[in-house]
Structure 1
Amino acid sequence: MHLPERCNFTQLFLVICLCFFSLVSFSTFWHLQRKNSYSWWWTISVKNTSGPPKHEHTTPSVSSIRNKDGGMWTVNSIGRLGNQMGEYATLYALAKLNGHQAYILPAMHRYLAPIFKLTLPMIPSELVGKIPWRNYGLHDWMSEEYRHIQGKYVRLSGYPCSYTFYHHIRHEILQEFAFHDYIKEDANRYLLQIRGQRKTVTYIGVHVRRGDYVHVMPNIWKGVVADKNYLDKAMNYFREKYHDAVFVVVSNGMAWCKENMDASRGDVYFAGDGQESSPGRDFALIAHCNHTIMTIGTFGIWAGYLVGGETIYLANYTLPDSPFLKVFKPSAAFLPEWIGIPADLSPLLPKS
């Protein structure tokens, strides 16, 4: 190696030492900053990679939210699809109402992101436990105090699923629950298939909730699930109103549906696979219909809310002294324009 005449080995040695010392100092400083995890997490930019294939959901820089002094609000992720949607929508509405940034937990992201084009960012799982949350419990309908929740780092809890939280921003909630394109295409493909050679079709989505509710409702909540008589009345309402009505049935008790629903006219299609492990497809099918028949449960409530057509629901399905009415307010669950058909409570009454 040929060195310039003005450079000697002593100068070269000093330059090498200086570079080495700078490198070690920078490495030590970076390590100490990373070790201080409580302050470090505010400064990183996190990219989520746990979303569904071809539908990447990217979390913006947490530091950018911190700089706006908006704090971070989230909500518990419990229950199945209808509950998760209710929790998401309530978080979205209450955080906005109180002027804070909403984030969802990883569990909620895993449940909803494969189905919907969500916009709320996700909190990385390794950071959830490092945030100084203030836990705030909610009941199942909007109250005035929820307009004035204090705290920058609030974690809402409960099973909220009431339009009273978010109906004032309905258009935004509908956008949050926009289906991914491949799900819409699958649902529309099925609906087109059952249309066949008909010139016009009015699709009625029917959700029949059974499963655990068959035992839970009478034994715990002093209530009933929908019976054959209710479904006949609801379906006949649409048959009389729309000459081209067809019924798209999804249920977690499909065998019962096939035995008890009148399909003799050729206008009933048992569309779902009856598996609770794949609720997204069932939900998409009835959410792409024109009108809704629901029985009980948040799954059916959300279907009616997203469809926006006429919705028939099972009304008064508990005894007046049911403990269920302490946690559930029918007037806050079913929109005023929806049509209620009273349930038959005779199975709950003492035998004479």
Structure 2
Amino acid sequence: MDLPQRCSFSQPALLFFLYFFSLLSLSAFLHLYDKMPYQQWRISVKNVSNFPGRGQPASLITTNTTCNSSRSSSKIIDSGIWTVNSAGRFGNQMGQYATLYALAKMNGHQAYIYPAMHKYLSPMFRITLPVLHAEVAKKIRWKNFHLHNWMSESYKHIKGKYVRLTGYPWSYTFFQHIRQEILQQFSFHDHIKEEANQYLQELRGKRQEVTYVGVHVRRGDYVHVMPSWKGVVADRGYLEKAMNYFREKYPNPIFVVTSNGMEWCKENINASRGDVYFSGDGRESSPGRDFALLAHCNHTIMTIGTFGLWAGYLAGGKTIYLANYTLPDSPVRKRFKPSAIFLPEWIGIPADLSPLLSKKPSQVQKPEA
């Protein structure tokens, strides 16, 4: 026996009604969304347990001072929104992230990062800062605050709830007071750690009590840029001195060389002792893979650039760096303080500036504006 019908609507008609009603509701919400002044926007951070340690894009929600339902279902951040420009490559992105993390915390505000920064760093690290949605960022009237490359007392008292830090900050003086938190932010994903440790173990072979020394040789565009800045890049003499320091200190050092100029390295680094290995079998590897290898070594030899600086900072052992690599009147000296770049316990070996001194003044190119 057929059951009686409980509704006079046919199924197609009911589906059409529900679809039409949902379109009206969505249209009304979007109209309200567009008209709302930026002061009423709030950010809700979604907690996704499936991806621990990874920043999650923030979602935009509307709130009202008389409505408590949103507060009960979402975490509303009323302390303001701080972010930082996402500029440069890997090392610069790390410096901007760490500086934002430290200064926002110091000034009592919530930090968010742009999607571009998240794309750079999240494949490598377990970063936790939430991601600021692009549409949210467009609605905010930012107060841009430019940073020079060292910590100042005034940075402890930056005014503003919606602050965007700008510049290329990399200095341990911004975040050394919370070093362990920064190291936690830049902890590698498990599969990256496993790959790096496996590679180092293969280099070790049957040797006992080895000491891994990561060597980063920055070349690439710096080979052409540094002379115009009245500076030099590392030469074979510097690298030999740095490597001999570890040879004298440890009985079984293993040097892992990474570079964006690997052909130069193979021609200028003496590997005849059997303790030098060129990453990727002498072929230039990916920046992420090279960085993971350097960070998992015991000690570091760096040349110039933020990539090597961060490798030494994360490795945590002894770090040798190229010191005094510019002439006193170099424009670089106006933007960087060596004492704020290299940690006090790091070991500097002065660069050979004779190639610059042997040139006539007219031969030294002026830096581009």
TM-score (norm 1): 0.87
Aligned counterparts of 1:34 and 1:27: Cα–Cα separation in 2: 10
Distance 1:193 1:2, change over 3 A: closer
For residues 119-162 of structure 1, the C-alpha deviation after alignment (integer angstroms, 9 at most, x for no partner) is 00001122221111110000000011111111111000000000
Note the C-alpha offset of 1:226: 0.3
Q: Is structure 2 residue 309 aligned with structure 1 residue 310?
A: no
Distance 1:266 1:133, change over 3 A: same
For residues 299-326 of structure 1, the C-alpha deviation after alignment (integer angstroms, 9 at most, x for no partner) is 1111111111000000000001111000
Note the C-alpha offset of 1:351: 5.2
* Cα contact 2:297–2:315 (8 A) shared by 1: yes
* Cα contact 2:58–2:133 (8 A) shared by 1: no
Distance 1:130 1:208, change over 3 A: same
* Cα contact 2:256–2:276 (8 A) shared by 1: yes
Note the C-alpha offset of 1:34: 3.4
Distance 1:143 1:62, change over 3 A: farther
* Cα contact 2:55–2:118 (8 A) shared by 1: no
Match of 1:331 among 333, 339, 346: 339
Aligned counterparts of 1:171 and 1:89: Cα–Cα separation in 2: 12
Note the C-alpha offset of 1:39: 5.5
Structure 2: segments with no counterpart, 5+ residues: 9-13, 62-70, 361-369
Aligned counterparts of 1:44 and 1:320: Cα–Cα separation in 2: 48
- Structure 2 counterpart of 1:42: 41
* Cα contact 2:112–2:132 (8 A) shared by 1: yes
Alignment partner of 2:336: what SS? coil
Match of 1:72 among 73, 76, 81: 81
For residues 314-347 of structure 1, the C-alpha deviation after alignment (integer angstroms, 9 at most, x for no partner) is 0000001111000011100000000000000000
Matches within 5 A, 1:243-254: 243-254=251-262
* Cα contact 1:202–1:290 (8 A) shared by 2: yes
Structure 1: segments with no counterpart, 5+ residues: 10-15
- Structure 1 counterpart of 2:235: 227
- Structure 2 counterpart of 1:58: 56
Aligned-residue CA RMSD (Å): 3.0
Return 119-128 or 321-330, whichever deviates more. Answer: 119-128
Note the C-alpha offset of 1:69: 1.6
Note the C-alpha offset of 1:35: 3.7
Q: How many residues align?
A: 334
Task: Give 1:323's aligned amino acid.
Answer: P
- Structure 1 counterpart of 2:100: 91
Alignment partner of 1:256: what SS? helix
Aligned counterparts of 1:351 and 1:35: Cα–Cα separation in 2: 62
- Structure 2 counterpart of 1:13: none
Match of 1:237 among 240, 245, 261: 245
Distance 1:228 1:3, change over 3 A: closer
Matches within 5 A, 1:152-171: 152-171=161-180
Alignment partner of 1:269: what SS? strand
Match of 1:255 among 263, 277, 282: 263
Task: Give 1:167's aligned amino acid.
Answer: Q
Match of 1:341 among 345, 349, 353: 349
Aligned counterparts of 1:80 and 1:44: Cα–Cα separation in 2: 28
Matches within 5 A, 1:133-282: 133-219=142-228, 221-272=229-280, 275=284, 278-282=286-290
Match of 1:300 among 308, 311, 315: 308
TM-score (norm 2): 0.83
Distance 1:274 1:79, change over 3 A: farther
Aligned counterparts of 1:183 and 1:126: Cα–Cα separation in 2: 32
Distance 1:62 1:335, change over 3 A: farther
